[in-house]
Every structure is written in structure tokens, then in C-alpha cells.
């Protein structure tokens, strides 16, 4: 099953409180951590920043990795409760959910996630995985042999060859 997404690229339904945004990446906090000078960042963002400069990215006070601790659980809960749009919205999913539920949605619910076809192992959307749509069938209208998946497309092609009775 293909459920890869970048948590920093999620679309949020409502504007995010600026206090829940990382001052480095300007996105809602991911795995929030806090410094001894009480600034909060995404753990990955502040780690990358410290590789470049051993100072707090906000106040420029000296800062070492040992001075960084997990942010209060309340901060983590607040960002994880933010309502997001399914990453498969561009494929047709209209679901929204709290950020902490997105993994379960993609793994078990989203009909627009790519999964292996039951008959041939090709990737198809979960909503189309009930039967193999890749097997060849004969078109009822033109007797052409097409994949079942292509049948709808084949049926919508106008017949350019016709016979006239005159």
C-alpha cells in the first residue's frame, strides 16, 4: 500500500494559530521540542539549525543539543488535533480529520490510496481493488479486446466507422 506523504505539506482546514508554527519552517510543529530559552521548534528543524550554528534560531543565545527537551505534551496535542485535508484530495478524497488520525485514514479507510490489485498485483485505488480491472475483456459494443479498466474509455469513443444504408 502506498501511503507516503510529507507531514509538512499537509493542507489544514483552518488557519493555524501562529503559536503552533515552527519559527524555522513556518509550518505547524512536527515532533515539537523546547529549548532552555523556552522557544519551541520542530525537532528536525532545530537539529538542522544547530548543525549550522550552535545558537537558538530565535534569540541567538548559545544552545547545545543537550539543552533541548520534548515540548510540553499540551503543545503536541494541540498540533495533532489540527484538522487536515486528506493528502489524496487531488485524487478525489474529500475526507478531513485531526492530524493524528491521518495514518489510520490512509492505511484503512481512504478509497484513493494505491493498493495492489487483487488479480494482477498492479497498483489501483482502493475503491477499484474489488476485482481485477486489468484483465482483458471483449467490448459489448465493438468487439474489441480491451482491459476492463479501459472499457469505460472505450465506450466513450465515438464510432467513426459506420455503414450507410444508402
Exposed (0-12), middle (13-18) or buried (19+): which is 132, by Cβ within 10 Å? Answer: middle
**Domain 7-109 is found in CATH 3.30.40.10:** yes
Please list, in sequence order, all residues whose beta carbon lies within 8 angstroms of the beta carbon of residue 5, skipping any fewer than 6 positions away: 87, 102, 106
- What pLDDT is recorded for position 137? 74
Q: Give the class (CATH, top level) of 114-155.
A: alpha beta
Banded model confidence at residue 152, pLDDT cuts 50, 70, 90: low
Helix (H) or strand (E) holding 145: strand 145-147
Residue 41 has pLDDT above 80, yes or no: yes
Does residue 96 contact residue 13 with C-beta atoms inside 8 Å?
A: yes
pTM: 0.72
Q: Is the pLDDT of residue 119 over 90?
A: no
Are 71 and 45 within 8 A, CB to CB? no
Every domain of the chain and the residues it spans: 7-109, 114-155
Amino acid at each position: 500500500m502506498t501511503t507516503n506523504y510529507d507531514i509538512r505539506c499537509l493542507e489544514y482546514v483552518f488557519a493555524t494559530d501562529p503559536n503552533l508554527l515552527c519559527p524555522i519552517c513556518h509550518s505547524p510543529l512536527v515532533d515539537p521540542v523546547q529549548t532552555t530559552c523556552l522557544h519551541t521548534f520542530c525537532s528536525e528543524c532545530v537539529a538542522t539549525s544547530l548543525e549550522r550554528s550552535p545558537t537558538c534560531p530565535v534569540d541567538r543565545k548559545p544552545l547545545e543539543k543537550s539543552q533541548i527537551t520534548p515540548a510540553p505534551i499540551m503543545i503536541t496535542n494541540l498540533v495533532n488535533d489540527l484538522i487536515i485535508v486528506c493528502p489524496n484530495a487531488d485524487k478525489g478524497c474529500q475526507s478531513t480529520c485531526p492530524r493524528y488520525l491521518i495514518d489510520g485514514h490512509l492505511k484503512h479507510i481512504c478509497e484513493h490510496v494505491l493498493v495492489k490489485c487483487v488479480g494482477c498485483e498492479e497498483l489501483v485505488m482502493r475503491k477499484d481493488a474489488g476485482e481485477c480491472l486489468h484483465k482483458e475483456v471483449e467490448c459489448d459494443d465493438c468487439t474489441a479486446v480491451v482491459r476492463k479498466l479501459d472499457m469505460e474509455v472505450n465506450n466513450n469513443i465515438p464510432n467513426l466507422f459506420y455503414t450507410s444504408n444508402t
